[in-house]
Amino acid sequence: MRLLLLILLFSASTAMAQDIPFRWDELTASDWPQALEKSKRTCILPIGILEKHGPHAPLGSDLIHVREWSARAAKQEYAVVFPDYFYGQVYEAQQQPGTFALPSRVVWDLLEATVEEIARNGFDKIVIVNGHGGNPQLLRYFVQAQLEKRRDYAVYFFDPGQDPVFAEKAKKLRKSDAAGDMHAGENETSTLLYLRPDLVKQKLATTESGEDQKRMASLPNLYTGIWWYASYPNHYAGEGAKASKEMGKLLTENKVETLVKALKAVKADTKTLELQREYFDNVDKVGARP
C-alpha cells in the first residue's frame, strides 16, 4: 500500500512538473531550467505587425495569426514562445490609420537585440514565425546576416513552401481568384473568422475595393518600393466578403501542422550549430599568421 502511494505521489509530481506554460511571459523563474530542457533550448519568436487589413479585419491580424500558430504548435511540440512582437517592416501602409512603423535602423537593432537576449537566457535555437507579407525580405536578410560574426546560437526562419496536395484541397473551397488574394482577402479573412470571428466585420469587406488599381506603368524586370501603394492604395488586396470559417480552419490546421514538423526538425538538429562553429573557425583562420 505504501509503495502504491509513493508511486502515485511520484507520478502526480512528475505530471505537475511537466505541465509548465509555453509562453515566456507565463513561465516563472523556477520553471526556467525545465523549460530549457523540455524545449531543447528552442524558442519561437512570433513576428506580426500593426496595420490596416481592409475595412473589415483588425489591425493586429498578423499578430493574431502568429500568436495562434505558435501557441497551437507549441502545445503539440513544446517550445517556449516569446511574447507578441510587432516591430517589422510596414512603410507601405503609413498612409493608413493604426499603422505602427518604426525607423528602419530601430527595426533592425531591436530584432538583433531581441535574439541576443533570447540567446542570453539559454536558448541556442530561435525560430522566427512570421505573419506579415512585408517582412520576408527583411527576415531572410536578417537570418543571412547572422554569419556576420560568431554566435553561439542559430536563427531559423519558418518559411513553408506550397504543398500541392494541400493546395488542391484549398482550391475546392476557394471562392475568389487566388492570384489577387494577398492582403485581408479570402484567405486571411477566413482564418480570422476561424480564430477570432468576434473581431471581423465581414459586412464591411465590400465597402472598399481590393482590386489591383494598376496605377503604375509597366516596369519590366524592375522593382520599386511604391509598387504596393500603386496597386492597392486601400491596403486591401482580395475579396474578404468571400471568406469562410471552413476555409479558415483548413488553412490554420495546415499551417500549425507544418510548424509542428519544423519544430521537431529544429529540436533534433545538431548540424546547424556544428557547421556554424566550423564556419567561424575557418573565418578566424583567414589572414592568420602562420
Quick check: helix, strand or coil at residue 279? helix
Question: What pLDDT is stored for residue 2 in this prediction?
Answer: 60
Closest CA to 133 of 182, 68, 194, 199: 182
Flag whether pLDDT at 39 surpasses 90: yes
Place of cell 484549398: 170
Flag whether pLDDT at 16 surpasses 50: no
DSSP 183: B
Query: How much is the mean pLDDT over the chain?
Result: 94
How would residue 13 be classed by pLDDT, with cut points 50, 70 and 90? very low
Half-sphere exposure of 52 (CA within 13 A, CB side): 20
Question: What pLDDT is stored for residue 3 in this prediction?
Answer: 55
Flag whether pLDDT at 10 surpasses 90: no
Longest dimension (CA), the chain: 84
Question: What pLDDT is stored for residue 11 in this prediction?
Answer: 46
Contacts of residue 29, defined as CB under 8 A and 6 or more positions apart, other chains included, come to none
For 82-120, the pLDDT digits (tens) are: 999 999 999 999 999 999 999 999 999 999 999 999 999
Flag whether pLDDT at 56 surpasses 70: yes
Average pLDDT of 50-56? 98
- Beta-bridged to residue 152, according to DSSP, are none
Q: How far apart are CA 201 and CA 203, in angstroms?
A: 6
Closest CA to 127 of 26, 265, 23: 265
Average pLDDT of 28-53? 98
Question: What pLDDT is stored for residue 18 in this prediction?
Answer: 59
Question: What pLDDT is stored for residue 12 in this prediction?
Answer: 45
